[in-house]
Amino acid sequence: MKNKKTTKVLISLMLILAMLVSVACGGNGAEDETPETDTVVEEAEAEETDADESESAAGLEGNALDDGVLDLGTNAAFPPYEFYDGDQMVGIDIDIAKAIADYLGYEVKIHDMEFSNIIASIESGKLDGGIAGMTVTADRLESVNFSNSYATGIQSIIVTKDSEIGSIDDLEGKKIGTQFGTTGDMYAQDDFGIDNVQAFDKGADAVVALLAGNVDCVIIDSAPAQSFVEADDNLQLLDTNYTEEDYAIALTKDNDTLLEEVNYALEVLTDDGTIPAIIEKYIPAK
Ligand code: ARG
């Protein structure tokens, strides 16, 4: 993270000076090699962090992050976008983040946190961005930049198989479980009143509450809804009439170069098939 433009300018000036001095001395001494050695080290680090995505196109040298580390927040309880396989965070967003960082020559650090804290952490400068199946909304655009969209989602309702709820029209007066701070949570509060909504830190916790009979349904994005329903025979899925949402990477408003680089990487990695292959890996076309 950190956008130390001045440091960068200073380093460039020092390199130019070093080159001038070595030319003036007519030398091809050790000073000449310093910049090259640095570059090699950076490339080696970038490769190391992402050996498994190595087929992606040879990348640019990103310039937006002086320490070369892309710090992104996520909430890894949102399959198939981010979840745990043992102690490994995996999923569409994790692979896309790695592919982008790899392409731009950054190291990527993904921080698992509460969904509702991601934007605040970007605003306070603790993170460069967030990748979390995050929907682009007008409200959020006041706090962060959003990359171009890489996927879409729609809100779904999960109910138990024996539920009397057959559609969104049956939700009046019912107890609705949501994930705190998500679009599903906002829609549910707007349409059915805050008193009828119980928000959980994780979508998975809302599903546990549904199975325990503590809420009557869960409103959550379609892809995780599908995963939760597939994992439990007692659950079924209903559609809503909420409109399709665009998922994008949230990025700090303080670094427009980062936004440009991420959009460029997204475009290249979509065109060369890397991102479609990642999505197909986790959501196979039927
Ligand atoms: N798309 C919804 C939103 O942006 C939910 C995202 C939740 N993501 C997560 N990783 N828990 O509000």
Tell me how far the alpha carbon of residue 6 lies from the centroid of ligand 1, in angstroms: 36
Average pLDDT on 195-222 reads 96
- pTM tops 0.85: no
Mean confidence (pLDDT) of the chain: 85
Q: For 24-51, what is each residue's pLDDT tens digit?
A: 444 343 333 333 333 333 333 444 444 4
Our answer on whether the CB atom of 134 is closer than 6 Å to any ligand 1 atom is: yes
Tell me how far the alpha carbon of residue 95 lies from the centroid of ligand 1, in angstroms: 17
Domains in the chain with CATH codes: 69-152+246-282 (3.40.190.10), 153-244 (3.40.190.10)
Q: For 124-164, what is each residue's pLDDT tens digit?
A: 999 999 999 999 999 999 999 999 999 999 999 999 999 99
Q: Which residues of 170-187 are buried (b: 16+ CB within 10 A; e: fewer)?
A: bbeebbbbbbbbbbbbeb
Query: Which atom of ligand 1 approaches the CA of 93 most closely?
Result: 10
* Residue 61 pLDDT class (50, 70, 90 cuts): confident
Comparing 53-67, 79-93, 177-191, 202-216, the range with the smallest average pLDDT is 53-67
Tell me how far the alpha carbon of residue 108 lies from the centroid of ligand 1, in angstroms: 20
pLDDT at 3: 57
